[in-house]
Amino acid sequence: MAHVSDLIASDIESYLALHEQKELLRFITCGSVDDGKSTLIGRMLYESHMLFDDHLAALKVDSKKVGTQDGDIDFALLVDGLAAEREQGITIDVAYRFFSTDKRKYIVADTPGHEEYTRNMATGASTADVAIILIDATQGVLTQTRRHSFIVSMVGVKRIVLAINKLDLVDYSQSIFEKIVADYQEFADNALTLDEITAIPISALKGDNIVDSSPNTPWYDGLSVIEYLESVPVSSTSQSRSFRMPVQWVNRPNREFRGFTGMIASGMIEKGQNVRVLPSGRESKIKGIITQDGDLDLAGAGRSITLTLDDEIDISRGDIISASSNPCSLGDQFQSHILWMDDSSMTPGREYLFKANTQTTSMTLGRLKYKIDVNTLEHTPATVLEMNEIGVCNISLARRIAFDPYKDDPVMGGFIIIDRISNNTVGMGFIDFALRRSDNIHWQSMDTTKESRAKQKGQRPRLVWFTGLSGSGKSSIANILEKKLQSMGRHTITLDGDNIRHGLNRDLGFTKADRVENIRRVGETSKLMVEAGLICISSFISPFSSEREMVRNIMDEGEFVEVFVDTPLEVCESRDVKGLYAKARAGELPNFTGISSPYEAPVNPEIRIDTTQTSAESAADLIIDYLSRS
């Protein structure tokens, strides 16, 4: 039998159906490294004797079969089993564990405390009703405690159990417990938006205040951890919000049937209800609600359904079906909180992919307004975010999306950030609000088009993008290329890296963020030149593949011609007509490409030129030949 935390969603749904009559509470355990999360979960499962997660079968423990499906398992072996999972690599994901008591069923997101796995903790917290923040009584409130608490609050968790663990190591000291609670409360009052903090003194190893009250803490008369989890109100907020359903696919097996399938993100839907489809704004009425279990008159958040409508309107994957009475908003520019989760720093101006529910589009991160110090709670100036840092910045999307601010609907206001090159998830964000310019600025259609301008000039507009190290010969080849094209009667413009920095980009330096912004601006300028019907020749080191790909993506198919001037570093250095390499070697030019800053060579350029074998004149002829043939 497979490990429950490895089962697919449909298996989990079947698994939970066994306990459909019980309320479901989702909670997360988090905190710093070695605060005792695995021990706490192990103790809860061991003491409750109501385990439904079958991972214990893998431990092969000989014991009497009492209380659980797999037996009355030895506590030490259970905790060893949970710890062994971490050694086998489960820390790269969130381990979801399922168990039940007489009163409730639970899903606990078991996340590692290591700083490098903060992304996993944020993922687990995003669907939790309650967060159990563990604090080692011998250590007190640590940076990771504050970071996890801040993230928990940021993603919308309103109830925290402050589990002060390892009280047995400090002789069950009431004063130490109260000091830690006071320190945390001071932090929470200044940093967090919570409805409730419940502090419980525990020893996960000894079992104090996990299921029953402990005689070792006579000064504490509150609830145990399990008593709290059994009595805390289960959030029904997602049901009370306005109806939202992202369309996952359009189901049309024949001409007579057309349904729209997805999981209800928020609210309730019923037959006959009026709905609005975004971003189109078209409206219709619900004709039917279809599920695997049959047709329904009413369905709520978390239910996978197929909707049929009275009208034949155009709906595609990524559209949002919402209540007509209170539809989503539309926007393409937002202020957002960002949690960065990648080893490589977040670079403003770089293009990433934005994914929210089934909506995916290109996104450009604006300059950071500030980052948040989780220790001091200060808003500090910053140009980039490093791994696990939190900041606030504006984002711009390539198209308008349907959204709700995160505070109003976490499902519709949350998003992830994906690197376009590696396809890795590098960050997560929360929409604060749409910028006013998102509604005030609209694309103005013009009668004169790129096609008419190109026809007037009798040529196909192109962007010839030269990339290569400083001294590789880019500018020399570009200069000859333009002269040859003009002699052929072609209409051209050349944008050169040094020349652009005298005007348009004179405010930019040579940090990674400034280089990204430099190419973003040049890319947009180059696009305008191509829109004018010109053959635009742009010559820039453009060291990062992400930015070159960004420029390619804003051009029409076939317009972007990447020319990689592939000259070895030692040859470029030997030329060094500007003395730049010598200064870089001497440490006088920081962030110099090829010396102290990387150059990411193109993998599949349209044209590759080896200047150790090909002259600048011949290289220009090769490019003209390519342009005439394609």
Report, as residue numbers or ranges, the catalytic residues: 542
**Distance (Å, rounded) from C-alpha 264 to C-alpha 256?**
24
- Residues in Cβ contact with 385 at an 8 Å cutoff, skipping those fewer than 6 apart: 338, 340, 345, 346, 368, 371, 391, 427
How many C-beta atoms surround the C-beta of residue 498 within 10 A? 11
Q: What letter represents residue 244's amino acid? A: R
The first and second tokens of residue 422, run together, are: 């590696």
**Distance (Å, rounded) from C-alpha 294 to C-alpha 286?**
16
CA distances 366 to 397, 402, 485, Å, are 11, 20, 37
Contact 108, 41 (CB under 8 A): yes
**Adjacent-strand bridge partners of 503:** none
**Adjacent-strand bridge partners of 262:** 305
**Distance (Å, rounded) from C-alpha 448 to C-alpha 171?**
82
Contact 242, 229 (CB under 8 A): no
- Number of C-alpha atoms within 13 angstroms, CB side, residue 15? 24
Residues in the chain: 630
Contact 269, 243 (CB under 8 A): yes
**Distance (Å, rounded) from C-alpha 45 to C-alpha 6?**
18
